[in-house]
Amino acid sequence: MTVLVAGGGIAGLTFALTCHQLGIPVRVFESVQQLQPLGVGINLQPNAVRELIELGLVDQLDAIGVQAEEWALFAKNGKQVWSEPRGTMAGYRWPQYSVHRGRLQMALYEAVLRRLGPDAVVTGAQLVSAQTQESSVIARFRCADGITREESGLLLVGADGIRSALRAQMYPDEGAPRWNGAVMWRGISEHPPVRTSNSFVLVGELSQRFVCYPISRADSRTGLATLNWIAERTLADDGSVWSDSDWNRRASVDEFLPAFQDWDFGWLDAADIIRRAEEAYVYPMVDRDPVPNWIEGRAVLIGDAAHAMYPTGSNGASQAIVDSRLLGAKLIDHGLTEAALHAYQDACLPAINELILRNRGAGPIGLLGIVEERSGGQFEDIEDVVPREEAQQYMAAYKAAAGFSRDTLNASEPVIDRKHYRFQFG
């Protein structure tokens, strides 16, 4: 019997490709009628890139993204707080990629259709509910025509995002995603790369900051790359509920540009980058509280459905990919059983719940909070505020918690032993 997947995002599609690689029948049900390359930029950490390479997607990654070279923090005075190399330039065995989220999703979708066939993904089918039988699970989907269809499978994987129907069934009193008072305006602009050919640059303080990094190579003629940018401000801190967590709600730059109008540091002009955007999107900084269980009978949550977290560590998509591979590994170990779901949960849940809370503390960006507390964001020499050794320990602790500590990752092998692959790629 087939494994059913609710949700055709990064988690669901990666899991479908994993099942195919392992010879496990799988079918994906996606709520939208037609998948489109929506969203803006994301980063894929080396632990996730390793798994996508195992799935034979390295050519697609090279086509849709660029390898990261640097990650750098700057205080609100424009002076450097921290910088470090990333990916292979930092000595990882695998690169870190900056990509357009929608293009990654479409690359995964096209790979699923090519490898599993055109019927592997059912669009216009939104999960409504699920019920475990003695040896199967019945999932009910509402179709675009309003009809509800039932599907039976051995397992159901809920990869249906931050507003997961499966999670809502498991936790009916949870309510809307939790807003921390911050709002992100996001967009893409054609602009020369800042610092290196692919530096992730964040400048400001915890209550207001600007982020930019390329998601394409610079044009050899014009020198322009596609820069993903985020302009973020904290508007409230009272635990208010934000009513809309749709990544694709458009906004006018006039809503937020005045707050960044004077952010010209010579080496970076935030207002200039923002003005070059053809469109901008607004999104609240939301997450979900950690929960003690991701399983209900023969159904399990992965990705944002299980552990939506603030994007302060640039690891939400990466964790979704790793989830998919870890679940696949447990299916090999335990078969298509509830025991496999529990083995997956035992391997992931405690550390990821800790990571959700760590990201609420601003993740690696929390270093700016230390700078602000000690100096008000004004200094000449960062060593007088945060010695490099202290900053290095702070960053190392986050990488270890997020699963991409260099030495630990380099010493490990891919999540699934290749002897189990039904299909080899590359």
pLDDT digits (tens, 9 = 90+) for 153-173: 999 999 999 999 999 999 999
Report the alpha-carbon distance of residue 2 to residue 24 in Å, rounded. Answer: 7
Does residue 239 carry a pLDDT above 60?
no
- Tell me how far the alpha carbon of residue 66 is from its chain's centroid: 16
Report the alpha-carbon distance of residue 2 to residue 318 in Å, rounded. Answer: 26
- pLDDT, averaged across the chain: 94
SS3 271: helix
For the residues 25-44, what does the mean pLDDT come to?
Answer: 95
In this prediction, residue 209 carries a pLDDT of: 96
Torsion on CA atoms 55, 227, 409, 315, rounded to nearest 10: -90
Does residue 229 carry a pLDDT above 70?
yes
E strands present in 278-385: 280-287, 295-296, 299-301
Antiparallel, parallel or unpaired: β 80-85 and 3-6: unpaired
Does residue 348 carry a pLDDT above 80?
yes
Sign of CA dihedral 289, 293, 297, 298: positive
CB atoms within 10 A of CB 78: 14
In this prediction, residue 237 carries a pLDDT of: 62
SS3 108: helix
HSE, side-chain direction, 13 A CA sphere, residue 191 = 27
Sign of CA dihedral 290, 181, 43, 92: negative
C-alpha pair distances (Å), 195 with each of 24, 268, 274, 391, 409: 46, 9, 18, 21, 27
Query: At 20, is the pLDDT very low, low, confident or very high (cuts 50, 70, 90)?
Result: very high
Does residue 146 carry a pLDDT above 80?
yes
Report the alpha-carbon distance of residue 298 to residue 107 in Å, rounded. Answer: 29
What percentage of residues in the chain have a pLDDT greater than 70?
97
Query: At 312, is the pLDDT very low, low, confident or very high (cuts 50, 70, 90)?
Result: confident
Query: At 300, is the pLDDT very low, low, confident or very high (cuts 50, 70, 90)?
Result: very high
Q: Which of these, 149, 238, 162, 222, lies nearest to 190 by C-alpha position?
A: 222
In this prediction, residue 243 carries a pLDDT of: 60
Does residue 338 carry a pLDDT above 60?
yes
> What would the pLDDT profile of 189-215 be if each residue is shown by its tens digit?
999 999 999 999 999 999 999 999 999
Sign of CA dihedral 9, 303, 155, 134: negative
> Torsion-angle region of residue 399: left (phi > 0), alpha (psi -120 to 50) or beta?
alpha
Length of the chain: 426
Query: At 236, is the pLDDT very low, low, confident or very high (cuts 50, 70, 90)?
Result: confident
> What would the pLDDT profile of 241-299 be if each residue is shown by its tens digit?
556 656 668 899 999 999 999 999 999 999 999 999 988 999 988 999 999 999 999 99
Look at 1 and 385; give whichever has higher pLDDT: 385
In this prediction, residue 247 carries a pLDDT of: 60
For the residues 116-130, what does the mean pLDDT come to?
Answer: 97
DSSP alpha helix (H) spans, 55-93: 58-64
Please, are residues 415 and 329 in contact by the beta-carbon 8 Å criterion? yes
Query: At 317, is the pLDDT very low, low, confident or very high (cuts 50, 70, 90)?
Result: very high
Q: Which of these, 67, 63, 72, 73, lies nearest to 92 by C-alpha position?
A: 67
Does residue 397 carry a pLDDT above 70?
yes
